[in-house]
């Protein structure tokens, strides 16, 4: 080979290397999870509408046992059996330790769903599996401000409050900063949860203008639901930490504007083999305008507290926890219920909507929303929100997690739940069977006499088939309390008690 050709080849190789070096400097990280569940349950029903019978003489229980589709007799529920899967895929483009782009995507489906010919979320389990069902979960930039101890995350990102998730535990679009200086950590964030200009009165798509130009709030950034966060944490030692948090929820999307101030104090301490944690929080604010119901309550004043302990006992850990969120009796214009954030497109204060708060410390599967025991798209709970339809909640739980071998584990939990307040809101109109905020005693219209929701007993055992693949079996049973007495109608039209909810699940969980 001639010297001239050799020089040309070397030059070309050098040019390719020069081009490749910047690209090779990036680290491409891929990870995620896959979970497959098989359900046998008279309560969970694959994401069907969680509703009570709709006949004129039926009872609308706001937060009670749901009746599976097609069954209008809540006293004798049918057993659902179905498969459900969830996959989450995460990709991170890392330039260096101080700069990266984080993305996350999700696919949910129930085997045999109605995806064919339709494009909607949480589908794709029907024959041939063709569906538009890839969801965006996270897209945000994570970087450190040069020359400072401040870290910034900007974009669609996870957010969870320092109150163990009872106010908000969700994904949201915003900008968050964390500045660390020694033992002190300061967090400051802004999140835009909704912009009402994206919806008309009927909840139409972005940019749709209502029929009348007199409707306010059509400009972007004028009628929003915004969340401002401020947190201060201080490490007393390597085993003790205290924190102070403030959250401002400002919702001016409708004729019933709402402002909620939440102030909370939290702490964690480790004493040998004992871990203690807890928080105390208070809320105040207002809802103005509107007519009837909670839209007419001009003052908000709620509170919540929690204490939990975990200790090493035998081959595992013994856990116990208590959570309280305040409720409201509906008798005056002061709403004393703890407010938690839900998905509500066109409304201010709302006790319904898809849940965006959690309480994972309970270990429950059906009694309250415990996202840690869920992990797929159709999980549902009797107390689905910590607000609990403005009735609040008391929840005491006791559990034990045992390590049986390097590959096998088992745990068991028991929990007891009450509504904090009995809500005596008057009947909505003549002929209605029940208030929207409190179950009544069947056809008589008398209010149920107990706040006790019920007792859950659950167990789980699992085995690692591989380092990244675990098979498990879960089972839970709830013995309903007096809160649900005579809240459904029998086939003959007389009031009766709902059947106790149960679920059994077989789970395959893969993480990579």
Please check whether residue 224 lies inside any domain of the structure. Answer: yes
- Asked whether 251 and 261 are in contact (CB, 8 A), the reply is no
Residue 384 has a pLDDT of 86
- Asked whether 76 and 488 are in contact (CB, 8 A), the reply is no
- Whose structure tokens read 């589908």? 123
- Whose structure tokens read 């004729």? 255
Please check whether residue 21 lies inside any domain of the structure. Answer: no
Total domains in the chain come to 1
Residue 152 has a pLDDT of 98
Write down the pTM of the prediction. 0.84
Tokens of 490: 């029998």
Span 167-185, average pLDDT: 97
The percentage of residues in the chain with a pLDDT greater than 90, rounded to a whole number, is 52
Please check whether residue 1 lies inside any domain of the structure. Answer: no
Print the SS3 string covering 254-323: CCCCEEEEEEEEEEEEEECCEEEEEEEEEEEEEECCCCCHHHHCCEEEEEEEEEEEEEEECCEEEEEEEE
Residue in 376, 417, 410, 411 with CA at minimum distance from that of residue 396: 417
Residue 489 has a pLDDT of 65
The percentage of residues in the chain with a pLDDT greater than 70, rounded to a whole number, is 72
Residue 171: beta bridge partners?
158
Tokens of 292: 């009837």
Residues 6+ apart with CB under 8 A from 384: 63, 355, 368, 369
Rounded to whole angstroms, the maximal C-alpha distance in the chain is: 104
Task: Give the model confidence (pLDDT) of 188-240 as tens digits.
Answer: 999 999 887 776 544 444 444 444 444 444 578 878 899 999 999 999 999 99
> Does residue 478 carry a pLDDT above 70?
yes
Residue 313 has a pLDDT of 96
- Asked whether 105 and 42 are in contact (CB, 8 A), the reply is no
More confident residue, 194 or 331: 194
Q: What is the per-residue burial (b if ≥16 Cβ within 10 Å, else e) of 448-457?
A: beebbbbbbb
Pick from 126-140, 229-243, 437-451, 488-502: least confident: 437-451
- Asked whether 351 and 343 are in contact (CB, 8 A), the reply is no
Would you say how long the chain is, in residues?
512
Tokens of 295: 């839209």
Please check whether residue 8 lies inside any domain of the structure. Answer: no
Backbone angles phi, psi at 423, to 5 degrees: -95, 120
CA distance 178 to 237: 20
Span 406-433, average pLDDT: 71
Residue in 451, 452, 471, 453 with CA at minimum distance from that of residue 461: 471
| DSSP 8-state secondary structure symbol assigned to residue 4 | H
Span 62-79, average pLDDT: 46
Please check whether residue 9 lies inside any domain of the structure. Answer: no
> Does residue 357 carry a pLDDT above 80?
yes
Please check whether residue 16 lies inside any domain of the structure. Answer: no
Task: Give the model confidence (pLDDT) of 432-465 as tens digits.
Answer: 333 333 343 332 333 445 789 999 999 999 999 9
- CA geometry: angle 13, 16, 17, nearest 5 deg: 85
Pick from 101-110, 170-179, 181-190, 333-342: least confident: 333-342
> Does residue 181 carry a pLDDT above 70?
yes
Please check whether residue 363 lies inside any domain of the structure. Answer: yes
- Asked whether 393 and 385 are in contact (CB, 8 A), the reply is no
- Residue 455 sits in a domain of what CATH number? 2.40.160.100
Confidence of residue 250 (pLDDT cuts 50, 70, 90): very high
Tokens of 62: 């706001």
Confidence of residue 169 (pLDDT cuts 50, 70, 90): very high
Backbone angles phi, psi at 314, to 5 degrees: 60, -135
For residue 95, what is the enclosing H or E element?
strand 80-96
More confident residue, 492 or 164: 164
Q: What is the per-residue burial (b if ≥16 Cβ within 10 Å, else e) of 3-38?
A: eeeeeeeeeeeeeeeeeeeeeeeeeeeeeebbbbbe
In 10 A of CB 499, how many CB atoms? 18
Tokens of 96: 């260096």
Task: Give the model confidence (pLDDT) of 262-309 as tens digits.
Answer: 999 999 999 989 999 999 999 999 887 654 445 455 789 999 999 999
CA distance 8 to 31: 42
Residue 299: beta bridge partners?
334
Please check whether residue 437 lies inside any domain of the structure. Answer: yes
> Does residue 102 carry a pLDDT above 90?
yes
Span 370-398, average pLDDT: 87
Sign of CA dihedral 444, 447, 450, 452: positive
- Asked whether 496 and 488 are in contact (CB, 8 A), the reply is yes
What's the domain range around 202?
A: 27-210+218-511
Pick from 65-69, 487-491, 492-496: least confident: 65-69
């Amino acid at each position: 080979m001639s010297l001239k050709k050799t020089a040309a080849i070397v030059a070309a190789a050098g040019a390719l290397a020069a081009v490749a070096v910047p690209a090779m400097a990036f680290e491409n990280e891929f990870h995620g999870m896959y979970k497959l569940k098989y359900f046998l349950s008279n309560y969970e029903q694959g994401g069907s509408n969680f509703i009570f019978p709709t006949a004129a003489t039926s009872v609308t229980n706001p937060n009670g046992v749901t009746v599976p589709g097609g069954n209008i007799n809540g006293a004798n529920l049918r057993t659902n059996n179905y498969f459900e899967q969830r996959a989450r895929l995460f990709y991170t483009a890392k330039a260096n330790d101080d700069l990266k782009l984080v993305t996350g995507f999700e696919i949910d489906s129930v085997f045999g769903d109605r995806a064919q010919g339709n494009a909607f979320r949480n589908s794709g389990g029907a024959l041939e599996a063709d569906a538009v069902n890839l969801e965006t979960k996270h897209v945000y930039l994570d970087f450190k401000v040069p020359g400072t101890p401040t870290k910034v995350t900007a974009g669609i990102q996870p957010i969870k409050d320092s109150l163990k998730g009872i106010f908000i535990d969700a994904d949201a679009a915003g900008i968050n900063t964390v500045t660390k200086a020694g033992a002190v950590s300061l967090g400051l964030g802004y999140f835009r949860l909704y912009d009402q200009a994206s919806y008309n009165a009927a909840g139409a798509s972005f940019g749709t203008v209502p029929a009348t130009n007199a409707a306010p709030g059509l400009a972007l950034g004028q009628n929003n639901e915004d969340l401002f966060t401020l947190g201060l944490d201080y490490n007393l030692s390597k085993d003790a930490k205290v924190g102070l948090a403030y959250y401002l929820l400002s919702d001016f999307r409708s004729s019933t504007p709402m402002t909620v101030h939440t102030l909370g104090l939290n702490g964690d301490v480790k004493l040998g083999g004992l871990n203690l944690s807890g928080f105390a929080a208070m809320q105040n604010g207002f809802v103005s305008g509107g007519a009837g119901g909670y839209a007419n309550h001009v003052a908000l004043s709620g509170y919540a507290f929690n204490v939990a302990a975990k200790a090493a006992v035998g081959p595992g850990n013994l856990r116990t926890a208590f959570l309280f969120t305040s409720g409201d009796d509906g008798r005056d214009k002061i709403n004393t219920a703890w407010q938690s954030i839900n998905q509500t497109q066109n409304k201010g204060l709302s006790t319904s909507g898809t849940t965006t708060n959690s309480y994972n410390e309970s270990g429950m599967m059906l009694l309250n929303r415990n996202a840690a025991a869920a992990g797929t798209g159709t999980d549902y709970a009797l107390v689905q929100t910590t607000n609990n339809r403005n009735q609040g909640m008391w929840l005491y739980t006791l559990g034990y997690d045992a390590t049986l071998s390097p590959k096998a584990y088992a745990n068991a939990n028991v929990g007891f739940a009450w509504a904090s307040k009995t809500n005596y809101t008057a009947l909505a109109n003549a002929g209605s069977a029940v208030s929207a905020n409190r179950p009544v005693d069947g056809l008589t219209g008398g209010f149920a006499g107990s706040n006790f929701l019920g007792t859950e007993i659950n167990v789980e055992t699992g085995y690692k088939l591989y380092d990244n693949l675990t098979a498990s079996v879960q089972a839970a049973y709830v013995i309903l309390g007096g809160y649900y007495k005579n809240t459904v109608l029998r086939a003959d039209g007389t009031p009766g008690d709902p059947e106790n909810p149960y679920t059994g699940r077989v789970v395959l969980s893969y993480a990579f």
